[in-house]
């Protein structure tokens, strides 16, 4: 039987229970916004914590639970793979962490991802000399603000014909999402982590809330690190 995920409001309640602040209305109680902030920072720091644990400082890694697929759209917005009609510029999702492949769903072929077309002389010359048509490669051009969102952008080669809207499917790993309900934790929002590691996030959060010299802080930090060691076994290194 599948284990149910724990909603954000129940997670914050459990954190309060452990640290002895069951009543959030008391003047000296930790604000919900602070607890949510610590929970979010712990989840988002998991890849870096695992890198430190493995002493693999040259590596970039993620986990299968954050593997996903994006389909392109002509509408701007957070988390969108954006390509407008007639445009040769593609905006990758702002929550993209690592891209694996880009596939043209109109022409049913993979589009090569190139970091620097100038470093691929033969390919670069061939694509730049071609007339406008279906994309064969996308050159990553760097980070930019697009529609008020900070994203990685790319240029499609050869250039896109006027009026034509390319369609793509991107596969890769996303950044872990944050809990957005701050002062009033939601009953329909969840930690962005496999359910078996929810306790790890709770213990890590508790360890940060308690004073560093508190013996219980050491215990909960140790429990979180044990779970992190287990999670590290499933890491995908790029």
pLDDT in tens, 148-198: 889 999 999 999 999 999 999 999 999 999 999 888 999 999 999 999 999
Return all residues near 11 (Cβ < 8 A) that are at least 6 apart.
39, 185, 191, 198, 201, 202
Residue of 231 and 60 predicted with greater confidence: 231
For the segment 41-53, the average pLDDT, to the nearest whole number, is 93
pLDDT for 30 equals 87
The pLDDT confidence band at residue 1, using thresholds 50, 70 and 90, is very low
pLDDT digits (tens, 9 = 90+) for 89-114: 999 999 999 999 999 999 999 999 99
Please state the domain extents for the chain.
Answer: 8-61+177-237, 75-164
Token pair for 117: 């077309």
What kind and span of H or E run contains 207?
helix 198-209
pTM for the predicted model, two decimal places: 0.90
Tokens 């499609």, located at residue: 156
Q: What is the mean pLDDT of residues 219-234?
A: 95
Running DSSP on this structure, what letter comes out for residue 58?
Answer: T
- Identify the residue whose tokens are 């390319």: 166
Distance set, CA 178 to CA 39, 75, 99, 237 (Å):
9, 23, 20, 23
- The answer to whether residues 84 and 77 touch, using CB atoms and an 8 Å cutoff, is no
Lowest mean pLDDT among 21-25, 47-51, 127-131: 21-25
Strand segments, DSSP code E, in the chain are 61-62, 67-73, 81-82, 89-91, 96-104, 109-114, 137-146, 149-157, 168-174, 236-237
Q: Is the pLDDT of residue 2 over 70?
A: no
Helix spans in the chain (H): 8-19, 32-44, 46-54, 121-129, 198-209, 215-232
Average pLDDT over residues 203-232: 94
3-state SS class at 57 = coil
| Residue 21: pLDDT band with limits 50, 70, 90 | confident
- CA 168 – CA 99 distance, rounded (Å): 13
């Amino acid at each position: 039987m599948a284990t149910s995920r724990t909603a954000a409001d129940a997670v914050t309640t459990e954190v309060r229970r452990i640290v002895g602040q069951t009543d959030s209305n008391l003047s000296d109680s930790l604000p919900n916004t602070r607890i949510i902030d610590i929970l979010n920072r712990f989840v988002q720091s998991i890849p870096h914590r695992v890198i430190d644990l493995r002493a693999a400082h040259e590596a970039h890694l993620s986990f299968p639970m954050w593997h996903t697929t994006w389909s392109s759209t002509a509408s701007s917005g957070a988390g969108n793979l954006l390509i407008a009609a007639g445009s040769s510029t593609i905006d990758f999702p702002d929550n993209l962490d690592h891209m694996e492949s880009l596939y043209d769903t109109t022409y049913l072929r993979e589009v090569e991802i190139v970091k620097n077309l100038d470093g691929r002389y033969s390919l670069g010359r061939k694509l730049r000399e071609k007339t406008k048509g279906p994309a064969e490669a996308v050159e990553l051009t760097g980070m930019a603000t697009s529609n008020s969102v900070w994203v990685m952008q790319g240029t499609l080669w050869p250039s896109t014909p006027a009026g034509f809207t390319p369609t793509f499917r991107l596969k890769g790993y996303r950044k872990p999402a944050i809990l957005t309900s701050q002062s009033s934790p939601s009953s329909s929002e969840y930690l962005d982590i496999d359910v078996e590691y929810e306790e790890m996030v709770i213990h890590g959060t508790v360890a940060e809330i308690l004073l560093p010299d508190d013996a219980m802080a050491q215990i909960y930090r140790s429990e979180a690190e044990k779970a992190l060691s287990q999670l590290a076994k499933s890491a995908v290194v790029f």
